[in-house]
Structure 1
Amino acid sequence: MNTIRGTMMAMACGLVLLGAQPVAAQSSAAKPATPARPAQDPAAEAFKAWDKDGNGSLSLVEFRTGWQQVQRVAEMQVRLRHQFGTVDANKNNAIDPAEYGSLVLVKQAGKNAPQMSVYDANRDGKLEFGEYVKLVQALAPEAGKAAAK
């Protein structure tokens, strides 16, 4: 049962990482200026992405390729989470300015390293995991591509 649950979680994570974005809820007070888009279907989006020949069905090769991609993405996410946790010395689930300088990618970039504020999207003075992933995508494109897929 744990194997099935783990497999399903990996698939769900992979589907999200393949580009499916959750739909944000609208408040009843906000009136959309344009007609509302239909809700996205992550499973349909993943199927379409995996169906390379566009014939409406997945061959074993297409499924295997998509599945392997999901596995690579999940593995990269685990590695990034581990690295993030290692750098987060005070364990506040964020990389603070004092911790930012200890990032290997920042050290490698040296004086060409971007200021932390470039990746601090919510301007709270620290990098949360999603912001850290954006930094990795920018400074280590090969790792960032795998994490973003």
Structure 2
Amino acid sequence: MNQIRNTLLALTGGMLLLGAQQAAAQSAAAKPAPATQARPAQDPAADAFKAWDKDGNGNLSLVEFRTGWQQVQRAAELQARLRHQFGTVDANKNDAIDPAEYGNLKLVQNAGAKAPQMSVFDANRDGKLGFGEYVKLVQALAPDAGKAAAK
């Protein structure tokens, strides 16, 4: 029973991660829509199904499901690792990376003088990095981190 629960939680976490990544990408790229323009409803489950259905036949084979499942598992593991790292650097536990904490990031220290200013990743200009902004920083400074963390 615990294995089923953990499996469902992992799948849900992966789906949330995929949905969050899509929402972040859309909000960063899209301008606010006029109030009169209706937005289509988002369906993360349908989007995931379509992404997993590699041959586009409307059915998931065991191979397609297994491949998609493994991607979700890797994404959930990476999400957990990034959350842990974020929490470790967030010394004052305000759920954000403040300017004083930014310099403690290993990626920033490794980049040295070439490290971008924190403001480059502070999308909402609130003077700190939330988790989503932190993920963007990791993607920019360590593009292969996702691959390495998934191994």
Normalized against structure 2, the TM-score is what? 0.82
How far residue 16 of structure 1 moved from its aligned partner, in angstroms, is 3.1
* 2:94 paired residue number: 92
1-structure distance, mates of 2:15, 2:139: 19
2-structure distance, mates of 1:112, 1:67: 38
1-structure distance, mates of 2:61, 2:35: 43
How far residue 93 of structure 1 moved from its aligned partner, in angstroms, is 1.0
* 1:58 paired residue number: 60
CA RMSD, 1 decimal = 2.4
2-structure distance, mates of 1:115, 1:39: 37
What is the 5 A alignment of 1:1-149? 1-19=1-19, 20-21=22-23, 31-32=35-36, 34=37, 36-144=38-146
1-structure distance, mates of 2:17, 2:147: 11
Calculate percent identity across the aligned residue pairs.
76
How far residue 80 of structure 1 moved from its aligned partner, in angstroms, is 0.4
Whether contact under 8 Å (1:21, 1:42) holds in the other structure is no
2-structure distance, mates of 1:146, 1:107: 19
2-structure distance, mates of 1:127, 1:69: 27
Q: Which has the higher contact order (CA 8 A, sep 6+)?
A: 1
Whether contact under 8 Å (1:133, 1:144) holds in the other structure is no
2-structure distance, mates of 1:45, 1:145: 23
Normalized against structure 1, the TM-score is what? 0.83
Flag the structure with higher helix content: 2
Whether contact under 8 Å (1:117, 1:125) holds in the other structure is yes
Structure 2 portions without partners, runs of 5+: 28-33
Structure 1 portions without partners, runs of 5+: 25-29
The amino acid of 1:31's aligned partner reads A
Q: 1:106 and 1:99, CA in 2 relative to 1: closer, same or farther beyond 3 A? A: same
